[in-house]
Amino acid sequence: MAACIEQLRSGMAAKPLSFNLDQTLFADPSTIYKFVELSTAFRRVNSEELRDELWAKMREEARKDVEQEPVLGSYYISAILAHDSLESALATHLGYRLATPSLPGSNLAEVFLAVLQEDRAIRAAVREDLRAIKERDPACVSYVQIMLNFKGFLAIQAQRVAHRLWLRGRVPLALVIQNRVSEVFAVDIHPGARIGNGVLLDHATGTVIGETAVIGDNVSILHNVTLGGTGKATGDRHPKIGDGVLVGAGTHVLGNVKIGAGAKIGAGSVVLKEVPEKTTAVGNPARLLGGRENPIKLTNIPSLTMDHTYEWSDYVI
């Protein structure tokens, strides 16, 4: 099977793919070659991509998956192995996942690829997100599965592109991308929101993030979480989530409130006020606690500085 894959790939530049892609994400096989060519040119200009170990690892994972499940051959070749860069594969995959009959996947893929080519920061953020998910999600078995099947990852990458378009004044297109992500992935992130690197949206279903929300680096957010407004304010009206925060499932953080670095929000909590650094907030309305080893209300503690390492199990109250 590995030899078959390499034989197929070696002939791609010279002639169209000989296998049927009707059952894959791609309605028009010719678009694959266009993105392969664009990606190849991109890699020549950006030499750091030639040493992209994460992309090499993803391709190796894809080959092993096809050897184990030959039925996935056409899908994996068109989605991963036909591409020379992570950017090309991601842009094409997102484009066709978000396409509609009147909004072709090839057009969307061009938009995604153009932004990824131009923005080094987004390219770095994509890789940090992949590493974060692989390290923090115990259900994650490979990078290639993140790329193809983790809708939280895909939703964030689409939002990164939409955010760049939003900042450039391309508001209608940014909002269309937001709407399609909401419809396809059940994740609604406004293109105005600012998202850091190494972010994990675990499961992701039902996640809503408002326009003026800010999410720091290395944040983990479980499903059915709202980072929204109270409905009583305008302007800067959404939460600011610090680095390393863990937000439990079913949580609602409402208003322009700050969640300090390293804080944890327990599952099902409703947070309306600031949560200090390295502090746990639980309940509806949320009350503040110390770490798991020191469950004391912070109102009784003169100093809010605590040294506590939080585990994934901490958010289960």
pLDDT tens for residues 238-278?
999 999 999 999 999 999 999 999 999 999 999 999 999 99
Residue 241, classed as helix, strand or coil, is strand
Is pLDDT above 90 for 296?
A: no
Instruction: Tell me the whole-structure pTM to 2 decimals.
Output: 0.78
| Cβ count within 10 A of residue 238 | 25
| CA 57, 9, 117, 29 torsion-angle sign | negative
Supply φ then ψ for residue 213, to 5 degrees. Answer: -70, 150
Rounded distance between C-alpha atoms, residue 130 and residue 150, angstroms: 10
The residue with tokens 């200009």 is 45
Residue 282, classed as helix, strand or coil, is strand
Name residues whose C-beta falls within 8 Å of residue 195's C-beta, 6 or more positions apart in sequence: 125, 156, 159, 160, 163, 189, 209, 215
Rounded distance between C-alpha atoms, residue 251 and residue 286, angstroms: 10
Model confidence pLDDT, tens digit, residues 192-222: 999 999 999 999 999 999 999 999 999 999 9
pLDDT score of 23? 39
Name residues whose C-beta falls within 8 Å of residue 273's C-beta, 6 or more positions apart in sequence: 257, 286
The residue with tokens 């039925």 is 71
Rounded distance between C-alpha atoms, residue 189 and residue 195, angstroms: 10
For residue 141, the Cα-to-chain-centroid distance in whole angstroms is 16
Residue 14: band (very low, low, confident or very high) from pLDDT cuts 50, 70, 90: very low
Supply φ then ψ for residue 113, to 5 degrees. Answer: -65, -40
Average of per-residue pLDDT across 119-145: 95
pLDDT score of 172? 97
Supply φ then ψ for residue 209, to 5 degrees. Answer: -130, 125
In the DSSP assignment, the letter for residue 78 is I
Model confidence pLDDT, tens digit, residues 96-115: 999 999 999 999 999 999 99
Model confidence pLDDT, tens digit, residues 27-38: 454 555 555 555
pLDDT score of 306? 34
pLDDT score of 30? 52
Is pLDDT above 50 for 302?
A: no
Domain boundaries 206-317, CATH class: mainly beta
For residue 239, whether the previous peptide bond is cis, meaning omega lies within 30 degrees of 0, is: no
- Closest CA relative to residue 219, chosen from 184, 243, 188, 250: 243
The C-alpha angle with vertex 236 and arms to 233 and 240, in degrees rounded to 5, equals 115
pLDDT score of 56? 95
Average of per-residue pLDDT across 76-82: 95
Domains of the chain, residue spans: 29-186, 206-317
Domain boundaries 29-186, CATH class: mainly alpha
pLDDT score of 290? 72
Model confidence pLDDT, tens digit, residues 148-182: 999 999 999 999 999 999 999 999 999 999 999 99
- Closest CA relative to residue 65, chosen from 121, 137, 148, 123: 148
**Mean residue pLDDT across the chain:** 83
**Segments in 168-301 forming alpha helices (H):** 171-185
